[in-house]
Structure 1
Amino acid sequence: MTFDNQLRVSSEVGTLRRLLIHSPDRGLGKVVPSKAQDWLFEDIVHLDTMRREEYDYYVKILLYFLDPEKVRGKIKEIDADPERLFYKPGSAAYFNSDKVVDIQKLLAEILEDDAIRVKLIASICAVERCSFRIQEKLKEYDPIELAKILISGSLPDLHMIFAPLPNFIFTRDIGIVINDHVLLNKPAKAARTRESLLTQYIFFYHPQFEGCRNNIIEIPDNEHHFLLTEDELKSDYHRSTLEGGDVMMVAPRHLLIGCSERTTLYAAQQVMKSLFERNVVDTITIVKIPKKRDYMHIDTVFTQVKRNVWVLLGSIARQGDEAKKRDVLHFFAPKEDPDRLQIMQFNKGWENKPTEIENLEDLLTDISKNDLGCNEPVEFIYSGNNEFPFGAREQWTDSCNLLALKDGVVIGYDRNDKTLEAFRAKGFQTVRAKDLLEEFEAGISSPETIQNTFIMLPSAELSRARGGSHCMSLPILRDGF
C-alpha cells in the first residue's frame, strides 16, 4: 500500500478524511473484576456483543463516509460472515482501508522490519518485566500475530503473558494532530504505558508518517524528576502527564488543552512552550476541570457538533454557575474551590499575563464567532437536556463525547434519551446507525447529502468502557474551512 503522508487537522468539525481506530481485541475479554480499576476499565464487557452488534456499526458508518467503495453494496455480505473477518486486520477479507486505519494493522506492518521487531520486543518486555524466555518466544511469531499479542497481552492459545490494553480502543488518547504536527501523549497511569510505547514506534517508523517525523512532539519530563519526592511527583506543578482527550484543535490557530484527572498543568505548559516556539498555533486556552473520574478529560464534558453548535455538561458551564449563585452554601465555599472550572487563554509571548474567561459558553461562543467566522447564533445542547438527574447520568454514558464526521453530522451513543431530545429540539434529526446504513444501501440518502444529523450507535456494551465516539477516534486528516 502506498501512502500520501497527508496529515492535517485544523478543526473539530471539518469533513473527516482519515482517522486511526482500534477494533475491540481479545484483550478486552480478559478484563477481570479484581483488576478492572488497575487497568482503567469500569466494567466487564461482553466482547462478542461489543464487536458484532455495536462497534461493527461504527466501522461501517466510518467507511461509508470516508471510504465508501470498501462497504457500499456489501453490507449483507459482511453481516453474513460468522467469523466477521471483514473487521480483523491480517485476514484476507479485512476491509484494509487507508482512510479508516486500525492501529493494529500499522503495528503489524512495522513489525515486518526485523530491526524494529527486535527493538520493540525488547522495549515491551522491559516495561512488562518479562523473562528472557518470553522475550525469545515472542520473536517466533509472525508480524500479524505478534501485533495481536503486544496489544492483547495473550498468546494465540489465549495464555496471558502480560496485562491487556482494554483502553487501546480509545485511540484519541494516544496522540493528537495539531495542524501538521503530531503531539504524542504521556499517560497518567502505568496501565497505559505500553500503549504509549507502541504509539511511539508506529509514528516514528511507519511509512504513513514518514513525511512528518520532524513534526512529532514528545512531552518532556521535569528535567529534575529523578530528584523529586514522591509527593512532588504527584503534584500538578512537577508531574508531566497528558492524554489526547484533553487536547482539541478547535480552529487553525487555536488549541484547547484540558487540565484534568489525567493531564497536568506542568505538561500543558511544556506543550504550550513547544507549540509557540514552532509557530504551530497563535492561541492556547487552558481549561481546568475538576479532577473527577466521571469527567476525566475535557472531551467527556464538551465536544463540537457544528461550527456554531456545541454539546456540553450544564453543571460545569454557565448553567452550573447560575445554580451555584442561587445556593446560599456557595458563598461559604473555600476560596480555592477544587470543583471550580477555570479557563485561561494564552497568546504568543505566553509569558505575558493570560486572559481569564469566565465560563465555558463564553469560550465556545468566541471560538465559533471569532476563530471560525460563524455569522449564525451560537447554540448549546446540554447533556440530559440539562434536567436533573439526567445531565450527570447521560454524561457518564458519553452524551457529550461525539465525533463529527462533517459539519453538523455526528455519531454518538443511542442510550442518552434526554440529550437526543435536546438535539431534536435544536432541529437535528436522529437516526439509528442500522437504519442509516439501509438508507445508504438503498440510495435513499448519502453521506454527501445528509445534514444536521445525530447518528445513534448501539451502546449497551461500548458505554460500559466509559468512552464515546470522540474517544474512539484519532483524526489525522480533516478538510479545512
Structure 2
Amino acid sequence: MTHYVDSEVGRLGTVLLHRPGPELARLTPRNNDSLLFDGIPWVARAQEEHDAFAAALREHGVEVLYIGTLLAEALAVPDARAELTEWALREPRLGETLRRRVADHLAYLDPAGLADVLIAGLAHEELRTSSERPGGLVYALMGRHDFVLDPLPNLLFTRDSSFWIRDHAGVTSLAMRARRRETNLTDTIYRYHPRFAGTRFVYGSELEHLEGGDVLLLAPGVVAVGVGERTTPAGAERLGRQVFATGLAHTLLVVPIAQERATMHLDTVCTMVDVDAVLMYPNVADSLAAYTVVAGPDGEPQVDGPAPFLRAAADAMDLDSLRVIDTGLHPITAEREQWDDGNNTLAIAPRLCVAYERNVETNAKLERAGIEVVRIAGSELGSGRGGPRCMSCPLVREPLPTSTLLASVPAAETVLGEVAPTGLPPAVPGGRRLSAD
C-alpha cells in the first residue's frame, strides 16, 4: 500500500483515527489536568460524535482506519509485542518488584487485550497480586485509584503523534509526559503492520520535540512548522535538515506562536481550506511571523527573516498572496470560536472541509468565501482541546494537479496569482529511520 500526502487540501483518500474508549472513562477531576483535558467528557456521547465524524468522512469516499485495530494486528508480530512491552515497562516509577508483576500481567494478554491495556492503561486494582506474587513497596504505597500504567486519552488526537510528507512517515517527539507513549504505539504500527511494510521515516520519537499539530504542508515542497508550547526550535531545525536531506521539501517556514494552552499548536490558529486560502484567528493574522529556511549549497539550513507569515507563505508557494478567512467578526466571538477549535478544520478536498458545528460565525464565513463545510458535533470531543484536524492523520491524499492549483475562486475573495508548479526530485532510497546526523 502506498501512503502519500503532499498538501493539506488534496482530496483525502485514507485517514487514521482513534475512536475514544475506556481511556476517556479514566478521566476524573483528580487527574484531568495532568492528562491534559479541560473537562470530564461524557464518553458515550464522545463516541457518538466520533462515529458521526468517521461516517461523514466515509460519505465523502474516505477510507477510515483505527489505531486500536491496527495496533492489535501489529501486536500479533512477536517482535512488535516485545518492543512495546519493554517500552511500557521502562516507566521509572514502577520499581523492580512492580515491574515484574506488570510484565507477568501483560504476558498473559492476547494481542487485542494488550492493545487495550496500552491505550486504556492499567489501574491499581486491575493488577492481581498475592503473597506469592507481591506488588512490592511501590504497589503498596499507591492509592487504590492510581494507575500502574497511565491511560492515553489524548490518543484521540492522532495528528500529533505522526504526520506524513509525501511517502515518508514522521513519528513525532511529544513534549508532554502524559502523551509520550502514544508515539510508541504509532511507531509500532508503522514498522510492524503489514499495511505499512517498507515505510520510510523522516522523523523519529528519539529526536527533538516536534508535534504533528505544528506541521502544515502548505504546498508540495513547502512545510510550515509552529514553534511554541510543544514544538521546540531545535525540533523545527531537525525537521528542516531531514526534509532537505531527502528531497521532501525545498522550503521550511518556522512560525513562532504563543506558548499558551489556547494556542498549543499552529493548527489551533491556522489551517488550510483551499490551495490558496487559510482560515486564521484574526488576533494573530497580522502579527504572525515566519522565518524562511532553505538548504544552502553546503547542505546547512540557511535562515531568512522574520517576515509576516502570510507574505512568507505566499512567496514560498509561488502565489501573489493568500486568501485569509478569519474566525468571527466580533473580537469576543473570534476568541470564543478559536478556543472551540473553529480554526482547526480538516480539508477533505479543495474548498471542502469538516468543522465543528458550534462555531457558527466561522462556518458562515467559510461558506461566504466559497468553502463547503461539513458540520459535525463536538461538544464532548472538544474537551481535550482539539478539532477535526487534530483528530485525524491523513495517510493518503491525491497530489494536487496544476488545474486544481489554478482553479478560480469566488470573485469577492480572489487574490490568487499564477502558480508555478513545484517539482521535487524523488525521495532518496534508504533505511527505515533517518539518524539525527
Cα root mean square deviation, aligned: 2.2
1:217 is aligned to 203
Residue 40 (1) aligns with residue 36 (2): yes
- Alignment match of 1:119 (pick from 60, 68, 83): 83
Map of 2:394 onto structure 1: 475
1:409 CA displacement? 0.7
The DSSP-based 3-state class of the residue aligned with 1:285 is: strand
Q: Which residue pairs with 2:368 in the alignment? A: 425
Q: What CA distance in whole angstroms lies between the structure 2 residues aligned with 1:179 and 1:313?
A: 28
Matches within 5 A, 1:325-404: 341-349=288-296, 351=300, 353-356=302-305, 358-366=307-315, 369-370=318-319, 378-385=322-329, 387-404=330-347
In structure 2, distance between residues paired with 1:145 and 1:219: 25
Shift of 1:384: 2.0
What secondary structure does 1:358 align onto? strand
Is contact 2:77-2:192 (8 Å) kept? no
The letter for the 2-side match of 1:471 is C
Within a 5 Å distance, the mapping from 1:197-276 to structure 2 comes to 197-213=184-200, 215-218=201-204, 220-221=206-207, 240-276=208-244
Does the 8 Å contact 2:183/2:205 carry over to 1? no
1:59 aligns with 2:54: yes
Q: Answer yes or no: is the 8 Å Cα contact 1:219–1:271 preserved in 2.
A: no
Deviations along 1:25-82, one digit per CA (max 9) or x if unpaired, are 1111111122212111111100011112x11110101122235xxxxxxxxxxxxxxx
Letter in 2 for 1:10: D
| Cα distance, 1:259–1:471 mapped onto 2, change above 3 Å | same
For 2:9, which of 7, 13, 32 is the aligned residue? 13
Which of 136, 147, 150 is matched with 1:163 structurally?
150
> In structure 1, what is the Cα distance between the partners aligned to 2:205 and 2:183?
12
C-alpha separation in 2, matches of 1:216 and 1:354: 21
TM-score for both structures, normalised by structure 1: 0.74
How far apart in 2 are the matches of 1:20 and 1:343? 29
3-state SS of paired residue (1:148) = helix
**Matched residues, percent identical?**
31
| 2:103 is the counterpart of 1:103 | no
Name the aligned partner's letter for residue 348 of structure 1.
A
Q: Does 1:196 align with 2:203?
A: no
| 1:360 to partner: Cα distance | 3.0
The aligned counterpart of 2:267 is 299
CA distance, structure 2, for counterparts of residue 195 and residue 142 of structure 1? 20
Between structures 1 and 2, the one with greater helix share? 1
1:27 aligns with 2:14: no
Aligned AA (2:28): V
Structure 2 residue matching 1:389: 3-state secondary structure: helix
Letter of the 2:60 partner, please give it: F
Q: Tell whether the 8 Å contact from 2:172 to 2:203 is kept in structure 1 after alignment.
A: no
Deviations 1:359-405 (A, max 9, x none): 233244445653xxxx9x742211123x2111111101100000001
> Structure 2: any 5+ residue segments left out of the alignment?
128-146, 401-437
Structure 1 residues 390-425: Cα deviation after superposition (integer angstroms, max 9, x where no partner): 111110110000000111110010111221232233
Shift of 1:122: 2.3
Residues 341 and 385, structure 2, Cα contact 8 Å, conserved in 1: yes
- Structure 1 residue runs without a partner (length 5+): 68-98, 222-239, 322-340, 428-451
1:368, 1:120 → 2: CA distance? 40
Q: Deviations over 1:344-372 (max 9, x none)?
A: 011221646533253233244445653xx
Encode CA deviations 1:177-211: one digit per residue, 9 max, x unaligned. 01111111101011111112112212221222212
Asked if the contact 2:270/2:278 (under 8 Å) is kept, the reply is yes
